[in-house]
Amino acid sequence: MISFRLLGSILALLLFSPVEAMSQSVLHVEIPPVLINDVAPTGVRPHAMTPYLESSSCILMELGIKELDLESVSLWIGELGDESPILKSPWFETIRRIAKKIVTEGGNRAFVAASPRMYLEGAPLVMIPTSSPAAASRLASSIESVLDSSPWKMLVRVQTDHKSVLIGTAETIGRVMQPRPAGRGDLSSPLTSADVFPHRAVISISDATRGNLVALWPDTLPGRWGVDLNPKQTMVDVIRMTLSMRLTPKLDASLKLETPDLAAMERTQEAVTRWISSRSGCDGVTVADEGTELTVSLPESFFAEILKSKKFQAQTPD
């Protein structure tokens, strides 16, 4: 199971840098009122997670289970030093065991959706597609046996929905089993395209939520965060982020930032460049722009610095 604390740790370290926060005035841009791909062409099959996405959903992850070589990752993390607590964390062993159960049942994908409401409820929603209702039932029983000995035993439940297995809090599962169509093609459409990376995470916020956050968020972050970032301007300028990653034969990733216009792209590019120059381990990081999109290539050395950092170790879930 993936905890919100773990998701927050990784995303925060990917986006934040150890420099002083700066105040900037916010330049507003026109954001299209229709969510990307919310109106699908006739005959196009919706994404498998579409029925479980809510209007407040903001993160959708796809994990290639057969490519989730946690043993190799364990060896690589171990080579970074004995101080990293990741390998000793119960969540790591739980994910390893669940991944093996999924492969045993012939599964090859898992999806994770998160929203502010799920954060308050304590856990994101995990959906694992299978080949049949019988396979889903077998996999659900196997996962329950793993969770019975995990820290999340009392927090989450496992339920089948036809050929899918759902893992989440009782509140979350009860809500998504009575869905209100939300579309959210802005979250699912990047996962329908071919990608050389087996693991992907999409971060996108609905227009209504974005407007509320722009009104509420400050121009600067507290100085103790050590982040050169204007939250209000970032919320206006970046309409979607897609992180694509592979773990083996070496850890490699690409982060795509989509903006609504060229001016927003230039402001974002300046912020990313400033972020890269402010931290160690970014020598191999490259930034390329194409139209209103930025692509940031993140090499293995970048993640090695993150895993060795005291900030990451302090936030690793127990």
35-64 pLDDT per residue, tens:
333 444 444 457 889 889 988 899 999 999
Among the ranges given (97-111, 136-150, 186-200), the one the predictor scored with the smallest mean pLDDT: 186-200
Q: How many domains does the chain have?
A: 1
Contact 235, 210 (CB under 8 A): yes
| pLDDT over 80 (residue 285) | yes
> pLDDT at position 13, please?
39
Other C-beta atoms lying within 10 Å of the C-beta of residue 194: 4
Residue from 36, 14, 1 nearest 191 by CA:
36
Contacts of 241 (CB under 8 A, 6+ apart): 202, 203, 204, 255, 256, 257, 258
| pLDDT over 50 (residue 18) | no
The first and second tokens of residue 236, run together, are: 């206006």
Contacts of 171 (CB under 8 A, 6+ apart): 121
Residue written as tokens 């972020």? 275
Confidence of residue 312 (pLDDT cuts 50, 70, 90): low
Distance of CA 251 to the CA centre of its chain: 16
Among the ranges given (32-41, 138-147, 170-179), the one the predictor scored with the smallest mean pLDDT: 32-41
Pairing outcome for strands 293-298 and 240-246: unpaired
Among the ranges given (123-132, 154-163, 206-215), the one the predictor scored with the smallest mean pLDDT: 206-215
Other C-beta atoms lying within 10 Å of the C-beta of residue 46: 14
Q: What is the mean pLDDT of the chain?
A: 79
Other C-beta atoms lying within 10 Å of the C-beta of residue 209: 17
**pTM for this one?**
0.78
Confidence of residue 34 (pLDDT cuts 50, 70, 90): very low
> pLDDT at position 83, please?
53
What beta strand segments (E) does the chain contain? 59-64, 109-114, 125-129, 157-161, 164-168, 199-203, 240-246, 252-258, 286-290, 293-298
More confident residue, 40 or 143: 143
Q: From CA 143, how far away is CA 200, in angstroms rounded?
A: 23
> pLDDT at position 204, please?
94
| pLDDT over 90 (residue 162) | yes
Contact 160, 166 (CB under 8 A): yes
The first and second tokens of residue 6, run together, are: 């773990």
Q: From CA 188, how far away is CA 106, in angstroms rounded?
A: 23
Confidence of residue 153 (pLDDT cuts 50, 70, 90): confident
Specify which of 22-26, 197-201, 211-215, 302-306 reaches the highest per-range mean pLDDT: 197-201
Contact 114, 124 (CB under 8 A): yes
| pLDDT over 50 (residue 69) | yes
> pLDDT at position 310, please?
53
Share of the chain above pLDDT 90, in %: 38
Q: What is the mean pLDDT of residues 288-292?
A: 94
Q: 60 lies in which domain range? A: 4-315
| pLDDT over 80 (residue 116) | yes
pLDDT in tens, 75-101: 776 666 655 556 667 777 888 889 999
Q: At residue 289, what are phi and psi to the nearest 5 degrees? A: -115, 145
| pLDDT over 60 (residue 10) | no
| pLDDT over 60 (residue 7) | no
Residue type, 210: R
The first and second tokens of residue 25, run together, are: 């005035």
Contact 128, 107 (CB under 8 A): yes
Share of the chain above pLDDT 70, in %: 76
Q: From CA 303, how far away is CA 99, in angstroms rounded?
A: 22
Contact 286, 297 (CB under 8 A): yes
Confidence of residue 180 (pLDDT cuts 50, 70, 90): confident
> pLDDT at position 3, please?
53
